[in-house]
Structure 1
Amino acid sequence: MDLSNRTDLIVGATSGIGRELARRFAAAGSTVAVGGRSPQALSELDGEGFGAFGVDVRDSASVVSLRDAVLARHPELDTVVTMSGVMLLEDLHDPAHFEAARTTIDTNLLGTIRVIDAFTPHMMQRCAGTFITVTSGIAFMPFPPMPSYAASKAAVHAYSEALRAQLDGTGVDVVELVPPAVSTAGQEKVNPLALPLDDFATEVMQLLSQNPTPHEILVKGVLMHRWAERDGTYDDLVAQRSRALAMLPSREG
């Protein structure tokens, strides 16, 4: 993928990985628009020269308004990145966890689908372009304290595979970005093994620049998750990760 002359929309770029990738794409020479919910973050990104648009991916009308506003300003749009996501702990011993599950699925899975649905007609009319979906190493090897997060990302992986198959022959490609734990939003305090954001973004840009672009963007730090079942390490790794269940209220003491 030539990153030097694209017009990108990154939905969920107000923090973390999305924000860093927006800066990297712009530095590579692309025009970048960003979408998100935080007015303060959008104002900051606007100050950096990005086209900033408010959007709540849980609201279909908001996503449609985003599409109309972005295409009015950037009719040449050729890349849409669906980055919005939440990571919530859930204690399955407590029925109240369902609200966290609902929020997670509505944001991570249905939010992704809403954004893709909104921009698919534009991409198909162009007969060219790329959707970049964002899953997680947790899609392939769950982190037990976050069951709905794992389920939502596994679903986005399957949806991405199906979307790629359905768009085959249209000129529109689907690329799946699969991050491991990355040190954003304080994750370095929770997981000292989290990959530094700068290192992660550098490796992602290198992989995206390959020709042809891989269908899955897999940095070295996520390979152990992606291929755990194939490599016969899955059960042991899930057992190790299950120790984190001790952080849930019902397991304390």
Structure 2
Amino acid sequence: MNISGNTVFIPGATSGIGLALALALKDRGNTVIIGGRRTDLLEKLGAEHPDLGTVRIDTADPESIRAAAHDVLGRYPQLNVLVAMAGIMQVEDWHRPESFLASAESVVTTNLLGPIRLIGAFVEHLQTRPDATIVTVSSGLGFTPLAVTPSYNASKAAIHMLSESLRLQLADTSVKIVELVPPSVRTALMPGQESSDFAMPLEDFIAETVELLASQPDAKEIQVERVKFLRYSEVRGDYDGTVATLNHADPHGK
């Protein structure tokens, strides 16, 4: 994707990676609309950054997605980039179903059904734009798993394969599929992650990500250097060792 001159909608951008990426893209000359569930937080961010658009959206709710899509396309018909950012991560114990089923269903609804429904709400419009991009967000844990977050790992592995498949299906359109593959980043995604020595500083992640987007406009995956340890463990032939290192070193992951 081109790094400037776009109209970008980022659901799940009221904090963490989503908000930091929204501000970075705005600074690069893009019109950026952020989405989130909390109206009060959206109003606060809109006041702090008056050149950001805001839209209420709950990506776990199909009707909320439909309403938000109608709102966004009504106000920003030039929209050409969708970043499916919203996601949750929860620790689960799969020894007993009562301890993980509700969490697993919530994670899959937000992390997998959410992006699917978002893409469904915007894909026809995006095909009418001459240069459009859908940015999916997977994770290094979609390639090398963290033991305590099974549903998160699985949802991100699914996002990777969804991205690969959509890229094939939409090859005859103007829509590009770019997969953002974060490592563990210092955000509030998990308790303690904001201060984790294992996690990458948020500002460093965003700076490297934006530079990769600028320097690799035709990239299929955006991988900061830090995530390659997880992304290519199986390719390198040291998957088992990487799994062992990850699960010994970091209780949070990303």
For the aligned pair, the TM-score class normalised by the smaller chain equals over 0.9
SS of the equivalent of 1:151 reads helix
Query: Within 2, Cα distance between the matches of 1:246 and 1:194?
Result: 11
Residue of structure 2 equivalent to 1:72: 74
The aligned residue for residue 121 of structure 1 is 124
Q: Distance in 2 between matches of 1:167 and 1:106?
A: 24
Deviates more, 1:236-245 or 1:207-216: 236-245
CA distance in 2, matches of 1:140, 1:85: 17
Deviation readout 1:191-243 (Å, 9 max, x if unpaired): 31211000000000011112433100000000111100011221012123344
Paired AA for residue 154 in structure 2 = A
In structure 2, what is the equivalent of residue 39 of structure 1?
39
Superposed CA deviations along residues 32-91 of structure 1, whole A, max 9, x for unmatched, are 001111223211221112111111111111101011100111000000000010000000
For the residues of structure 2 that align with 1:139 and 1:38, how far apart are their CA atoms?
28
Equivalent-residue separation in structure 2 for 1:246 and 1:132 (angstroms): 28
For the Cα contact (< 8 Å) 1:139–1:153, is it kept in 2?
yes
Aligned partner (choices 216, 219, 222) of residue 224 of structure 2: 219
Aligned pair partner of 1:204 in 204, 209, 221: 209
Displacement of 1:169 in angstroms is 1.8
What SS class does the counterpart of residue 10 from structure 2 fall into?
strand
Tell me the equivalent position of 1:58: 60
Tell me how far 1:245 sits from its aligned partner: 10
Name the residue aligned to 2:19. Answer: 19
Question: In structure 2, what is the Cα distance between the partners aligned to 1:167 and 1:206?
Answer: 26
| Contact 1:145-1:244 at 8 Å conserved across structures | no
Report the aligned-residue RMSD: 1.6
1:162 aligns with 2:174: no
Residue by residue over 1:76-107, the C-alpha shift from the partner in whole angstroms, topping out at 9 and shown as x without a partner, is 00000000100000001121211000000000
141, 149, 152: which one aligns with 1:146: 149
> Gaps spanning 5+ residues in structure 2: where?
none
Question: C-alpha distance in 1, partners of 2:244/2:228?
Answer: 18
- What's 2:193 paired with? 187
| Letter in structure 2 aligned against 1:188 | E
The one-letter code sitting in structure 2 at the alignment partner of 1:169 is: D
> Residue by residue, what CA displacement relative to the aligned partner does 1:107-155 show, whole Å, maximum 9, x if unpaired?
0000010000100010112243000000000000011100000000000
Matched length: 246
1:94-109 map, 5 Å: 94-96=96-98, 97-109=100-112
Helix, strand or coil: the match of 1:168? Answer: helix
State the AA in 1 paired with 2:102. Answer: E
* Alpha-carbon separation, structure 1, partners of 2:126 and 2:151: 30
Select 1:236's aligned residue among 208, 230, 241.
241
CA contact (8 A) 1:10 1:33 kept: yes
- If the length of structure 2 is used for normalisation, what is the TM-score? 0.93
TM (norm. structure 1) is 0.93
Alpha-carbon separation, structure 2, partners of 1:21 and 1:241 = 26
Q: Which amino acid aligns with 2:217?
A: P
**Conserved? CA contact 2:198–2:250, under 8 Å:** no
Identity of aligned residues (%): 44
